[in-house]
Amino acid sequence: MEVAGRKVAIVGMGGAFPACKDITMFEQNLFAGESLIRTWEETKAFGKNIRSNVSGYISEQEMDLEAIYSTLIEGYPETYIDHLGRIPDANLATADVGSIWAMLGSQDAIKMAGWNTAEVHSAQTGVVMGSGSAGNTVLRTAWNSFYEKGQKTRLAGSHAVDRSMVYREAANVSCLIKNRGVCEAIGSACATGLGNIGYAYRLIKYGIQDRILAGGIEATSLESFIGFDAMQVLSKGFSPAESSRPFDVDRNGFVCSFGCGIIALEEYEMAKARGAKILAVIDNYFNNSDGDGNMFFPSFAGQKRLWEGLLAGHVIKPEVVKVHGTSTPAGDAIELLSVVDVMGESGYHISAPKSQLGHMLGAAGAVELITAVLMLEQQKVLPCLNSNNFNQELEPFQNTPDWDGPMNPINHYKHLISSQTVEKEINQIVCLNYGFGGTNSAMSISKHD
């Protein structure tokens, strides 16, 4: 049950972002309208076995990290060196590269939040973060050495488990910062990032914690890329910068990307009392399931119920709706129609950050929440790149007997989506993210004042 009077503030942010050395560079590139998607040369080594070759990936060098490879198992990163000395060696030894991103992002978020040592170590400070997949780089070589090469288990080292377990990022962050509150990870596919932050919001709202580091991570991984490539759902046939094209009639799949977004949350009155810079206030969070038994196809009814839950008992009239917007043929269309079904045809803009970032899977919701906070601060709507031509005919599902949504083609709503940065007054933003299995998440954030 919610505790009366408790609100939740966003007081810090950090993470790892493609082709960007820090969150400042990330912000600059976003509002300059740049794409962070590049050709991933590593995929080309597999020739025609991989259909897509573009990604918003992050290299170890870009994060000032260096993998130390085993002399006994080829290609196995036993540990990492942090060339900037940000993470102690003992913590690096238990971490895969995504966990290192989470630790670095948490350090940045704590610094921005201004939490002191006592606050960080407190039993009222928690860690809630997760990813959409396993520690693939560690597992790949560890299991291959045992199953395929017949090598002894000990050659994989003593940290294969803690570097690949489900909640490895949360565990590594907790061990680094030495908090005494909760340490948990929620996995909900591509809704993981926003889902972890939403759960953290509830822990504070319900009086269980006062401060939480929350977010989502997806480490650069060929395994994840290959899996989606095998489903034939990745974009192909365009230049890297043109590959992610939400709502465009020529979209043919999403760009598989990687990253990390960490948010520092704090009970509002506590943050205000200590003079913290409050970046945004969370109005409400709601999540649900489609309930139609379909693992992959989006549900208009499920998304409509998601909006109903978010709006219930709250005044939510956003100037911007940050959509999931993956560039998949059915997903984009159903999402856009579900938004206009609730919001109408005017008075707001739609932003799809994946047009610049690609789809960061488990990190998507967290990194995109960061983009929403930045839009509040900048009072600018991020551009939706490559959204040039919209379908002028009804979508196939709009012609089915059970369709009860808007009966206009996607082109009718083109005015809501700008391919250029838009300056406007922004007081409130709604963020949407969805995942396989029919899981849906929605969060509304507002300016501090």
| pLDDT one-digit tens code per residue, 307-322 | 999 999 999 999 999 9
The string of pLDDT tens digits covering residues 411-436 is 999 999 999 999 999 999 999 999 99
Q: What is the pLDDT of residue 125?
A: 98
Q: How far is residue 340's CA from residue 323's CA, in Å, rounded to a whole number?
A: 12
112 pLDDT higher than 80: yes
Q: What is the pLDDT of residue 241?
A: 98
Here the tokens at position 430 are 């709604």
Please name the residues in contact with 25: beta carbons below 8 A apart, sequence gap of 6 or more: 17
Q: Which of 20, 359, 384, 431 is catalytic?
A: 359
134 pLDDT higher than 90: no
DSSP 3-state assignment of 167?
Answer: coil
Please provide residue 444's backbone torsions phi and psi, each rounded to the nearest 5 degrees.
Answer: -110, 135
The string of pLDDT tens digits covering residues 177-230 is 999 999 999 999 999 999 999 999 999 999 999 999 999 999 999 999 999 999
pTM for this entry:
0.97
15 pLDDT higher than 90: yes
Q: What is the pLDDT of residue 167?
A: 93
3-class secondary structure per residue, 304-371:
HHHHHHHHCCCCCCCCEEECCCCCCHHHHHHHHHHHHHHHCCCCCEEECCHHHHCECHHHHHHHHHHH
Q: What is the pLDDT of residue 163?
A: 87
Here the tokens at position 310 are 């978010």
Half-sphere exposure for 337 (CA within 13 Å, toward CB): 25
Q: Is 431 a catalytic residue?
A: no
Tokens 């994946």 belong to: 354
Taken in order of first residue, the domains within the chain and their CATH numbers are 8-446 (3.40.47.10)
Across the range 90-109, mean pLDDT stands at 97
Q: Binning pLDDT at 50, 70 and 90, where does residue 75 land?
A: confident
11 pLDDT higher than 90: yes
- C-alpha dist (Å) from residue 212 to 69, 79, 106, 423: 34, 28, 10, 32
The string of pLDDT tens digits covering residues 78-98 is 899 999 999 999 999 999 999
Q: Binning pLDDT at 50, 70 and 90, where does residue 135 land?
A: confident
Tokens 């300059």 belong to: 32
Q: Which of 175, 256, 260, 324 is catalytic?
A: 324
Q: Tell me the percentage of the chain whose pLDDT exceeds 70.
A: 100
Q: Is 83 a catalytic residue?
A: no
Phi-psi region of 70 (alpha: psi -120 to 50; beta: other; left: phi over 0): beta
Q: What is the pLDDT of residue 160?
A: 81
Here the tokens at position 240 are 């890297």
Q: How far is residue 374's CA from residue 380's CA, in Å, rounded to a whole number?
A: 8
Helix-then-strand count for the chain, H and E: 14, 16
Please provide residue 317's backbone torsions phi and psi, each rounded to the nearest 5 degrees.
Answer: -135, 75
162 pLDDT higher than 90: no
Q: Tell me the percentage of the chain whose pLDDT exceeds 90.
A: 89
Here the tokens at position 254 are 């999403």
Q: Is 412 a catalytic residue?
A: no
Q: What is the DSSP string of 128-160?
A: EEEESS--HHHHHHHHHHHHTT---GGGG-TTT
DSSP 272: H
* β-sheet bridge partners, residue 439: 289, 435
Q: Which of 20, 175, 190, 431 is catalytic?
A: 190
164 pLDDT higher than 80: yes
The string of pLDDT tens digits covering residues 16-74 is 999 999 999 999 999 999 999 999 999 999 999 999 999 999 999 999 999 999 888 88
Average model confidence (pLDDT) for the chain? Answer: 95
Q: Binning pLDDT at 50, 70 and 90, where does residue 138 land?
A: confident
